[in-house]
Amino acid sequence: MYKKILFTLLSIIISTTITMGQDSTAVHSPEEEVDASNPLSKGLNAYQIGRFKPNQVELQNIVNYTTDKWFIRGAIDYTKPYDGKVYYGSSSFMVSRLFEFAKNNEKWKVQSGFGVVVSNSKVNGSAIGVNFVGVQTNEKWKFVELLTYQSNGTIEAQYGAYYKFTKNGNWEVRTHPRMLFNTQTGVHEIPVGVGLGHTVRAKTFMTYIYCEPEYDLYNNEYIIYSGVKFIF
């Protein structure tokens, strides 16, 4: 079952990439495409994310809106056992005030944000907390940090590294696992992995597709972390 799901997922990603690539246009410069995987890309963007585990898939829908000074994110998480129905996991709303550093540095762009997050979880109930977000980019490399701590004892930590290995920046090697720590239930996730990301620009919006196989060190299981991002 697990192998069939992995094969189906990879087939969808490849076919979607080819289809959208055929409908792409070169009107926009490569520099615009290079930053498609940046969570702080300005404007409105939406994610559909799946974390495929041996017994279930965790689905996450995210909508981001970013300006020069603010980063706003709303997210809803669902879980679906392979032999069961989809059920609600959690939802959250986050607002961060952004600051830009290294303004005189010609090679690096550095952004950081600090803010608040409110959430509701099926397991832990409602909570409020604080968050930090940071992105450092140059022509080839990008480093991303996202850390939240909430009053119900949950911690989310995401640390990502990206390297663009094609001249136009459309393909990149990436590692960006999501680590979760729940001090109330003792349920944690500590995944590590490496994958690929690809940027495609269609006529009306940019799309970023990625697949990142991971291994959860805490739970001793494999995860396929995959998703698609639409930038409007």
**Residue 78's pLDDT band (boundaries 50, 70, 90)?**
very high
Query: Structural domains in the chain?
Result: 2-231 (2.40.160.40)
* pLDDT single digits (tens) 122-161: 888 899 999 999 999 998 999 999 999 999 889 999 999 9
pLDDT at 98 over 60: yes
- Note the pTM of the prediction, 2 decimals: 0.82
Percent of the residues in the chain that have a pLDDT greater than 90, as a whole number: 66
* pLDDT single digits (tens) 196-219: 999 997 777 789 999 999 999 999
pLDDT at 34 over 80: no
CB 49 within 8 A of CB 211: no
* pLDDT single digits (tens) 101-133: 888 788 899 999 999 999 998 888 899 999 999
pLDDT at 40 over 50: yes
Question: What does pLDDT average to over the chain?
Answer: 85
